[in-house]
Amino acid sequence: MQKLILDTNVLVSALIQNNFPFKIVNELFIEDKVKLCVSEKLMVEYYEVLRRPKFTIYPDFVARAEALLVDIEAKSIIYSPRIVVDLLSDKDDNMILELADTCLADYIITGNVNDFTIPTYKNTLIVNPREYWLTYQP
């Protein structure tokens, strides 16, 4: 089963509109067709971002975000990276590479092309949601 790491922006997009992030989360993760890998640091970021007041303008965002976070906690594999990576310009995003190194993720899926400028990290492909859905999904 593929191991994925979803950048926080992918979760936000999945909760706002029915697009590729929505399909990845609902048709692959929720249906147990892929395994989501998280760390405690990434979970903290998920909670902090998905609880931002600016997202309350979207209908049912808060309730759907809370339900998704419960699913992530219940179905994901939680890893504790012990390495430190310093490759990305946005230092906070390095935790995703640290997680990828620890869990041997197949894919990092992100919409953040400004900070994730490398196509791979070790054996992990870094792709946007559209590319993953059209090319790599199981």
CATH code of the domain covering residue 120 = 3.40.50.1010
pLDDT at site 35: 97
Report pLDDT digits (tens) over 7-58: 999 999 999 999 999 999 999 999 999 999 999 999 999 999 999 999 999 9
Q: What helix, strand, coil percent values describe the chain, rounded to 5?
A: 50, 15, 35
**Six token digits for residue 125:** 């492909």
For position 23, what pLDDT does the model report?
A: 97
Q: Distance of CA 41 to CAs 29, 37, 64, 94, Å?
A: 20, 12, 21, 11
Position 89 pLDDT exceeds 80: no
Mean pLDDT score, 49-77: 94
Mapped onto helix, strand or coil, the DSSP state of residue 75 is helix
Number of domains in the chain: 1
Domain enclosing residue 97, as ranges: 3-136
Q: Which pairing describes strands 120-121 and 124-127: parallel, antiparallel, or unpaired?
A: antiparallel
Longest dimension (CA), the chain: 40
